[in-house]
Amino acid sequence: MLDAAVQVFSRRGYHAASMDEIAERAGISKPLVYLYLGSKADLFTACIRREAGRLREAITSVAEDGLAPQEQLWRGVNAFFGFVAQHREGWSVLYRQARGQGEPFSGEVAKMRRMIVETVAALIARAMAAEGVRKPAVEGDEVLALANALVGAGESLTEWLLDHPEESPEVTSARLMNLAWMGLSNVLRGKVWRPPAGPSR
């Protein structure tokens, strides 16, 4: 039943999805949906919760403690792309639909995203500590911003992956790791990019 809801939500979007269609696709009648899961918003929230839980599970299950940050990031990224490739509809609901609309659900999704960003940030911080980088080189929020950028790159590559079914999740993961880790490794060693001289205007 949640499967039917996820399908319809992913195809139509939250507003355009009608409870009638969801009920029909689930093979039951509308009042039953209301009986089990309350309002439309509740139903959508339930979908989000389930998909978010699955995604979270897919990622955390491969990230064993004690591994090197690089290895953990690789595994997590890999698990992420693998999951998305297999749960296109779920991802579509989570990412495309649940972002933006006024308040009710965005919080749920934003929370999960923040968790991912913080996990990535923690990995970066560990990697930095391992390399013995001094604090002043990289401010506190700096790491969070970097993690944000990486996650954004991942999201964008996800769209790419879904639009190019011939690409494998592994290759996509490797691309992201290349961008991320190679860029980081330079920064970690103190090699930073500086804007060219002169005012840009």
The residues of the shown chain that bind DNA, judged by CB under 7 A, are 16-20, 28-32, 34, 39-41
Closer Cβ to DNA, 23 or 150, answer by number: 23
C-alpha distances out from residue 140 to 7, 136, 143, 152, 180, Å: 41, 9, 6, 19, 19
Binding flag, residue 90, a second copy (CB under 8 A): no
Helices (H), 19-99: 19-26, 30-37, 40-60, 69-86, 88-91
Which among 30-38, 44-52, 129-137, 147-155 is the span making contact with a second copy, rule CB under 8 A?
A: 147-155
Choice from 3, 20, 131, 141 touching a second copy (CB under 8 A): 141
Which among 18-26, 42-50, 128-136, 183-191 is the span making contact with a second copy, rule CB under 8 A?
A: 183-191
Q: Which two tokens stand for residue 199?
A: 């005012």
The closest alpha carbon to 70, from 188, 177, 145, belongs to 177
Choice from 43, 94, 116, 157 touching a second copy (CB under 8 A): 157
Binding flag, residue 175, a second copy (CB under 8 A): yes
Report the SS3 class of residue 179: helix
Choice from 27, 136, 140, 191 touching a second copy (CB under 8 A): 191
Q: What, of a second copy, DNA, none, does residue 31 touch, CB below 5 to 8 Å by kind?
A: DNA
Binding flag, residue 181, a second copy (CB under 8 A): yes
Separation of alpha carbons 147 and 82, rounded Å: 20
Q: What, of a second copy, DNA, none, does residue 155 touch, CB below 5 to 8 Å by kind?
A: a second copy
Which among 29-37, 50-58, 69-77, 128-136 is the span making contact with a second copy, rule CB under 8 A?
A: 69-77
Separation of alpha carbons 153 and 179, rounded Å: 9
Q: What, of a second copy, DNA, none, does residue 86 touch, CB below 5 to 8 Å by kind?
A: none
Separation of alpha carbons 4 and 89, rounded Å: 10
Helices (H), 61-139: 69-86, 88-91, 106-131
Q: What, of a second copy, DNA, none, does residue 40 touch, CB below 5 to 8 Å by kind?
A: DNA
Q: What is the CA radius of gyration of the chain?
A: 20
